[in-house]
A and B are shown apart, each in its own frame.
Chain A
Amino acid sequence: MFTIIIKDVTVLSAIGSLLAIIMVIAQRRLSNYGDCKIDINGKRELVIKGGNSLLSSLSDKQIFLPSACGGRGSCAACKCKVISGGGPILPTEKPLLTKAELAAGDIRLACQVKVKSDIKIEIPAGIFNIRRFNATVTEIIDYTYDTKGITFKFADGEKIDFLAGQYVQLETKPYGKVKQGVIRAYSISSKPEINSSLQLIIRYVPEGICTTWVHQHLKLGDTVSLTGPYGDFFLRDTDADIIYVAGGSGKAPIKSMLEHLAVIGCKRKMTYFFGARTTKDLYLTDEMHAFEKVFPSFEYVPVLSHSEQGDGWTGKTGFVMPYFKDAIRDPKNTEAYLCGSPGMINAVTKALIEEGIPKDKIYYDSFG
């Protein structure tokens, strides 16, 4: 009985193993397409192992095309433009493409296209840029008693491509009583010209899970994960005059914009209002005033709402709104960039519209 079992199992295993060996060899020999290059928007080239779908090849490299069905070819969310190297349109794609897309012939479902040779594709810049970065904390600056500027340097070779004003998401690690990480958004405060690292300005929030972690647990040399860039709050490339208004940690995106303009040069008339409560809440004042020498027409105007006796404050006081009038010379040709709390954004937007600035030229990044 025992020998029969042994014999039968052995034969069955032998058949199975033989087939498995054939499959393994075939897989190695036949599915090995070597390294293939994916050219994205003519801007970036990825080298991946061929043989997988375009969708999964891209996600391996941290580029995430939208996909609701997970690559089964039924949601059509992963459509992208394949300029060359994608082969003919497959029967599995046809039902999901519109007549116009079929006629154009270069719109494909990324989950169905297999990468078997070098391939050239085009995807929306927003998606293309969003990636996940591993970064190390290289600098922590105390700007005020509750605000820190933290510089994150990316792992070797990682580069971010963002517009001044956009934000990233920071992922926290578990600490103390917090058993799972959370994700929070912060505007980038460094200029886009520096692409191997970025700086965030983070203000401590009482009971905040992420800010407590940043302020009390994060040390130089720690590694964190960031994703981004996100957001449609960014500097528009026009000749219009600019009014910046920031409150609290809303200084970050505007710092990025100004540093960017300092690099590329800018002749636009710009005025920057910073609303704070007391002198304790002011930071980066010298740095901002220094821009007045960099640009031909720039003024930094910090305004304190609760200036106290004996704090030595000689600048403007109250709310920022009454000071707009002097800064605007042609309301129709003026853009405004606002970053701060919803209360501030609402009040400032209202005041700017009253001054005659077109509503569609007021860009804002609200905390709310």
Chain B
Amino acid sequence: MKETTQEQRIRARMQPGIISLNGFLGKDKRSISDIISDDDKQLQALSRTPIEVAERMLYFSNASFNAFDGRVTVDDIYVVETEVTRGRMNCPWAHDGFHRKYITSLTNTKNNTTVVWTALNIHLIKEHSFFEGKGSAFRLDPATLVKALF
């Protein structure tokens, strides 16, 4: 699908070195709307919505904040740890202010699945249903994510 001017602008901001070191798209050649709709289909097949997923992620990140950012076990089976760094970063959609910089890693001990996400990931999923392009450093595969989170 051909990209709109708006999407081209977003794509430009997703390139390496603009907002993050390696960008948001990895080696993915698909258009942004294709990436979003492909992931959306996957998510629908699992009968989850992006908002549900994002809120679950935020729940775990907040849980580890309350525990002094340390490693913490939540709801018996989730081991969560968050690393906060100084500064803020903005979203490639460029409409919604700045986001904190932290990286949360979560391990689901029941099925041994580990996922790692950033503060920006949560925003991108919640507001834009965007899980990043394949090969990107913080690409979150919807299936793995759902498997780990729920």
List chain A positions with a Cβ less than 8 A from chain B: 174, 176-180, 184-186, 203, 205-209, 212, 247, 275, 277, 305-306, 319, 321, 341-344, 346-347, 367-368
Contacts and interface: CB of A to CB of B under 8 A. Distances in A.
Contact of A177 (B17, B69, B85, B102): B17
Contact of A208 (B21, B64, B100, B138): B21
Nearest to A186: B86
B150 interface: no
A305 B21 contact: no
Interface string B102-113: 110000000000
Given A178-B21, A207-B20, A306 B82 contact: no
A175 to B, nearest CB: 8
Nearest to B16: A177
B85 A208 contact: yes
**Majority secondary structure of chain B interface residues (helix, strand, loop or mixed):** loop
Given A178-B21, A209-B21, A319 B87 contact: no
B69 A212 contact: no
Contact of A306 (B17, B65, B71, B84): B71
Interface in B79-132: 82, 84-87, 100-103
B137 A341 contact: no
Contacts of A176: 16-17
Residue from A179, A209, A277, A305 with most neighbouring chain B CB atoms (10 Å) = A209
Given A178-B21, A343-B66, A205 B85 contact: yes
Nearest to A339: B86
B135 interface: no
Interface residues of B, number: 27
B149 to A, nearest CB: 21
A207 B138 contact: yes
A186 B71 CA distance: 26
17 contacts: A177-B16, A177-B21, A177-B23, A178-B17, A178-B21, A207-B21, A208-B21, A208-B85, A212-B21, A277-B71, A319-B68, A321-B68, A341-B102, A343-B68, A367-B84, A367-B87, A368-B86
Contacts of B15: 177
Contacts of A277: 70-71
A180 B13 CA distance: 12
B2 to A, nearest CB: 25
B31 interface: no
Contact of B85 (A179, A321, A367): A367
Nearest to B85: A205
A308 to B, nearest CB: 12
Ranked nearest first, the 5 interchain pairs of A and B with the lowest CB-CB distance are A178-B17, A341-B84, A177-B16, A343-B69, A367-B86
B23 to A, nearest CB: 8
Nearest to B64: A343
Nearest to B138: A207
B17 A341 contact: no
A28 B136 CA distance: 61
Given A184-B87, A206-B137, A306-B71, A343 B65 contact: yes
A343 B101 CA distance: 13
Nearest to B71: A306
Nearest to B101: A205
A184 B15 CA distance: 20
A341 B16 CA distance: 26
A112 to B, nearest CB: 37
A323 to B, nearest CB: 13
Contacts of B73: none
A177 B23 CA distance: 9
A228 to B, nearest CB: 15
Contacts of A247: 69
B22 interface: yes
A305 B69 CA distance: 10
Given A185-B86, A206-B137, A207-B137, A341 B69 contact: yes
B68 A178 contact: no
A212 B85 CA distance: 13
B86 A178 contact: no
Contacts of B64: 343
Interface string B45-87: 0000000000000000000111111110000000000101111
A343 B62 CA distance: 9
